[in-house]
Amino acid sequence: MATQLNGARVAFVATDGVEQVELDQPWAAVTDAGGQPELISLADGKIQAFNHLDHGDTRQVDRVLDDVDADDYVALVLPGGVANGDFVRVDHRAVSFVKDFFTAGKPVGVICHGGWVLIEAGVASGRTVTSWPSLQTDFRNAGAEWVDQELVVDENLVTSRKPDDLPAFTKAVVEKIAAAV
């Protein structure tokens, strides 16, 4: 399958506490495949990434949730990080934005604690997913089938558990986006 994204805009929703490698590696994969990633966050300015529990780099926000529409993007990526996943899932704008991608049938890639946002958006029911293991009960309670696998692709939803899964995750996300372009 071709992985040329032809300038496709891809929304990355993250805030303070995002797991840096789970933001950076998919971002690089989208860029390398010819896509245009945009960092969308809860507020303007910069977000603080983390390397597990240690401060990582900061990243400049491209757009805030108040100023975006799912129609402007081909796909969505939700990186993990415990704090990031928790902050994003309680923001009604983020939840609505995520729900809009599912309503439109667009590709969505989610890794680690980013899965909390799927649960909050009410889009996990009937899906087969994976995530960081501590989310398995949350997913099951939301009506999803949770499995402990490196990668799960359920229609346009791509999920993975952790940073070790990033090679498989980024490849599958880029392939799904390329199929949508």
Catalytic site positions: 113
- Beta strand 18-19 with 36-41: parallel, antiparallel or unpaired? unpaired
> Do 68 and 98 contact (CB within 8 A), yes or no?
no
Dihedral of CA 28/35/163/13: which sign?
A: positive
The percent helix, strand, coil of the chain (3-state, each to 5) is 40, 25, 30
Gyration radius of the chain's alpha carbons: 14
**Backbone angle region of 75, left / alpha / beta, with phi > 0 → left and psi within -120 to 50 → alpha:** beta
Q: Tokens representing 24?
A: 């950076």
Helices (H) and strands (E) in the chain, counts: 6, 12
